[in-house]
Amino acid sequence: MAKLTIRNVIKRYGALEVLHGVSVAAQDGEFVVLVGPSGCGKSTLLRMIAGLESISDGEIEIGDRVVNDLEPNERDIAMVFQTYALYPHMTVRDNMAFSLKLARRSRQEIEQKVDDAAGILDLTALLDRYPRQLSGGQRQRVAMGRAIVRNPAVFLFDEPLSNLDAKLRVQMRTEIKTLHQRLGTTMVYVTHDQMEAMTMADRIVVMHGGGIEQVGPPLQIYDEPANSFVAGFIGSPS
Ligand code: ADP
Ligand code: MG
| ipTM of model over 0.95 | yes
> Using only C-alpha atoms, what is the Rg of the chain?
18
Alpha helical stretches, state H, 51-106? 92-102
> Which of 18, 159, 205, when mutated, tests ligand 1's pocket best, judged by the most ligand atoms within 8 Å of its CB?
18
What is the rounded CA–CA span in Å between residue 11 and residue 138?
Answer: 35
Q: Which residue(s) pair with 206 in the sheet?
A: 35, 214
Those residues whose beta carbon sits under 5 angstroms from the ion ligand 2 are: 43
Cβ atoms of 42 and 206 within 8 Å: the answer is no
Predicted structure pTM score: 0.93
Largest CA distance in the chain: 58
Nearest protein Cα to ligand 1, atom 14: 39
Q: Which atom of ligand 1 is nearest to the CA of 53?
A: 23
Out of 12, 44, 233, mutate this one to test ligand 1's pocket (max ligand atoms within 8 Å of CB): namely 44
Reading the chain (238 residues) residue by residue, the pLDDT tens digits are 899 999 999 999 999 999 999 999 999 999 999 999 999 999 999 999 999 999 999 999 999 899 999 999 899 999 987 766 899 999 999 999 998 998 899 999 999 999 999 998 889 999 999 999 998 889 989 999 999 999 999 999 999 888 888 888 898 899 899 999 999 999 999 999 999 999 999 999 999 999 999 999 999 999 999 999 999 999 754 3
